[in-house]
Structure 1
Amino acid sequence: MNYSKIMFMIMIMLTTLMTISSTNWIGMWIGMEMNLMSFIPFINKNKNLKSSRAMMMYFLAQSIGSIIFLFAILMNSFIMTPIMMNEFIKTAMVIGMAIKLGMAPFHSWMPEMMSNINWNEMMVLMTWQKVAPLYTLSNLMNNWSMYILIILSTIVGAIGGLNQTSMRKIMAYSSINHMGWITAMMITQTKWFMYLLIYSITVAMLCYMMNMHNTYFINQVSTMNESMTEKLTYSILMLSIGGMPPFLGFLPKWMAIQSMINTEMMILMTIMIMMSLLTLFYYMRMISSLMLMYSSMNKWMKYKSPNTMMVSLMLTINMSMPIYSIMSFF
């Protein structure tokens, strides 16, 4: 048992909770800095060139975001409440958080860094590491720069992943696209954490499957010797994360679309839906080789393995969206 790894994981969780529970900007900044220092050893546990490169990229990007955020706080040191801030300081704080989240146009570090780490580290980076900056961003609402970030993130996240063969880079661009959706939901209503939760569950399941089969590039998908159930689960996971109904991943996008209709943000919603279709194209490309490949095996489970239960659970979770929809009416 690696006690250092456990300690850093506990620190990552505690520092995020510290940021969420802070009542002022300095407390949030301290929480995010401690979180950064806890996550860096978690990346650099493998002593090789790739993990060192990823560590430096992450450190520099997060440091620049923190410096801009701290500069804005110190500029505004006498007025500590969000209501009384002027637009310049608020915009600087939004930019600082956008750099930390890897939102476009400050996204360049994210795909490069993600292509140098493994699936477990990617899972933490795409889920838990987003919580603290997103919470801080949610306290900076109704700023003009957020609309630009949403449009650019959805466009860059959709177009950037089209020409990629690395699964990790595709997931990085997917994450950029989803950050745009979460931020749009943040403007229209307060239930953005529901989107993040469902997205985190889907991403965690996908990273588990990729790690289980040691898949890092698209051409490796067709070589995976899987049972029919695993193929189906992998395909459904991809469609779910792309927001295809009736799978679970469509539910948060449905909530976001509904809230944008209620606030009459039609142009923004149209751009986001069109870009979401592009992301669905590269998800389909990731599963087409698996689904169209000829196979004489027609059994659901080819062999009994410890992963059988987990794969079946993933399948059930992703198919449960109609149940949630029915429950929402009551």
Structure 2
Amino acid sequence: MKNSFNHQNFIFFISLIISVFLGLSSNSFLILWMAMEINLFSFIPLMSVDLENNSEKSMVLYFLIQSVSSMIIFSSMIWLTLSKINMINQLVISTIFLGIFMKMGVFPFQFWVISLIESISWMNCFILLTIQKIIPITMMFCMLQKKIILIICFFNSMVASISGLTIFSLRKIFSFSSMNHLTLMILCMTFSKKIFKMYFIIYSFMNAMGMKIMNLNKMLFLQEMMMMTKKNSLDFISIIVVFFSMAGIPPFLGFLPKAMILMKMVENSLLFLSLSILILNTITSFFYLRLSYMSLILSLNMKKEVKHKPKNSFPWFLLLTLFPLGLIL
């Protein structure tokens, strides 16, 4: 994996960030669509950092999916502008949501994300699972359709929770976790923009810390994580704390937004959906706990070696921020 980030890639990264701010600062569908296209053509060159990891196929796959979804969204926007029949308009809006869900990799279009995630670096995983979601979610803000959102959120959470139980690839685990968190974030935006913004920042922060540790220790699979205890115990403790926070276990930071969105759902009389999401999130928490438990148990059976201070170590003191903020609730 190449970690070099040359000047050309830096320019594309800046372009990607600018496209996000362009999308956030506009309520026009046309500007949002343009921002998504700039975002697409900025991210593809960043994927070229991993050429030895068959990134050419990844770039083609990503480009095709994003191009098809962009065509669906753009053609639907034109049709929506020209059509004056209410029934047709509702169908067109549903088609726009279809394109948005395809862009984000939400059910039933999660397969391209799972396939792509295995062939890109941890840095690009972070961009794909966080930054690349911002503009499509912003577009959803402009045209809320509660029925569509609630149905998709339920199935998205169910697929993410069940699929993650049999996975041993750490990048795939993060992608299924992203699907689950995305469900809650989409639900957030139907009730409170403030909670959504807070949730997205916390989610991005947890992802950044977890993927940074994985990248420093060059971990891709569960077996490699199990070996980390005898190499770098501090990083091992750090990733366990990140997993507990992403699972939403109190008093960690990840518990706060999950509790707030569930309370909002109960306030809006969505009792069945809130109970379903709670059960499915418990399943999601299980595969985080499984990772931690298996790593701890198997590490105890390993022959202890003389520990050495690694050259690259995660600044684990940052994890202290995951504790007190989780107690605000």
Same fold, TM exceeding 0.5? yes
- Partners of 1:198 and 1:85 lie apart in 2 by 39
Alignment of 1:166-245 (within 5 A): 166-191=169-194, 192-224=196-228, 225-245=230-250
Indicate the larger mover: 201-210 or 84-93: 84-93
C-alpha contact (below 8 Å) 1:119/1:210 kept by paired residues: yes
Provide the residue aligned with 1:21 in structure 2. Answer: 25
Deviation at 1:67, TM superposition (A): 1.2
Provide the identity percentage.
26
Provide the residue aligned with 2:42 in structure 1. Answer: 38
Q: State the TM-score, normalizing by the size of structure 1.
A: 0.90
- Partners of 1:302 and 1:253 lie apart in 2 by 38
Provide the residue aligned with 2:262 in structure 1. Answer: 257
Provide the residue aligned with 2:92 in structure 1. Answer: 89
C-alpha change, 1:323 and 1:273, in structure 2 (3 Å) is closer
Instruction: Kindly provide the CA deviation profile for residues 18-43 of structure 1, in whole angstroms up to 9, marking residues without a partner as x.
Output: 11122311111011011001100101
Provide the residue aligned with 1:5 in structure 2. Answer: 9
C-alpha change, 1:166 and 1:114, in structure 2 (3 Å) is same
- Partners of 2:281 and 2:269 lie apart in 1 by 19
C-alpha contact (below 8 Å) 2:255/2:326 kept by paired residues: no
C-alpha change, 1:143 and 1:304, in structure 2 (3 Å) is closer
- Partners of 2:143 and 2:88 lie apart in 1 by 10
- Partners of 2:62 and 2:241 lie apart in 1 by 31
Deviation at 1:89, TM superposition (A): 2.0
Instruction: Kindly provide the CA deviation profile for residues 265-320 of structure 1, in whole angstroms up to 9, marking residues without a partner as x.
Output: 111111111111111111112112332222797x9x96375636x1121x202112
- Partners of 2:192 and 2:50 lie apart in 1 by 41
Indicate the larger mover: 47-56 or 29-38: 47-56
Alignment of 1:106-117 (within 5 A): 106-117=109-120
Provide the residue aligned with 1:125 in structure 2. Answer: 128
- Partners of 2:265 and 2:189 lie apart in 1 by 10
C-alpha change, 1:200 and 1:194, in structure 2 (3 Å) is same
The one-letter amino acid paired with 2:288 is Y
The one-letter amino acid paired with 2:201 is L
More helix by share: 2
- Partners of 2:92 and 2:80 lie apart in 1 by 7
Instruction: Kindly provide the CA deviation profile for residues 129-150 of structure 1, in whole angstroms up to 9, marking residues without a partner as x.
Output: 1111111112121342211210
Q: Which residue of 94, 103, 107 maps to 1:104?
A: 107
The one-letter amino acid paired with 1:176 is M
Name the Cα RMSD after superposition: 2.4
Deviation at 1:102, TM superposition (A): 0.6
Structure 1: tracts of 5 or more residues without a match: 326-330
Deviation at 1:63, TM superposition (A): 1.3
- Partners of 2:24 and 2:87 lie apart in 1 by 21
The one-letter amino acid paired with 2:127 is V
Counterpart secondary structure, 1:103: coil
Q: Which residue of 71, 74, 80 maps to 2:78?
A: 74
Q: State the TM-score, normalizing by the size of structure 2.
A: 0.90
C-alpha change, 1:284 and 1:322, in structure 2 (3 Å) is closer
C-alpha change, 1:274 and 1:210, in structure 2 (3 Å) is same
Counterpart secondary structure, 1:48: helix
- The answer as to 2:316 corresponding to 1:278 is no
C-alpha change, 1:79 and 1:14, in structure 2 (3 Å) is farther
C-alpha change, 1:84 and 1:54, in structure 2 (3 Å) is same
Provide the residue aligned with 1:59 in structure 2. Answer: 63
C-alpha contact (below 8 Å) 1:94/1:140 kept by paired residues: no
Deviation at 1:49, TM superposition (A): 5.6
Provide the residue aligned with 2:157 in structure 1. Answer: 154
- The answer as to 2:319 corresponding to 1:320 is no
Deviation at 1:188, TM superposition (A): 2.0
The one-letter amino acid paired with 1:104 is F
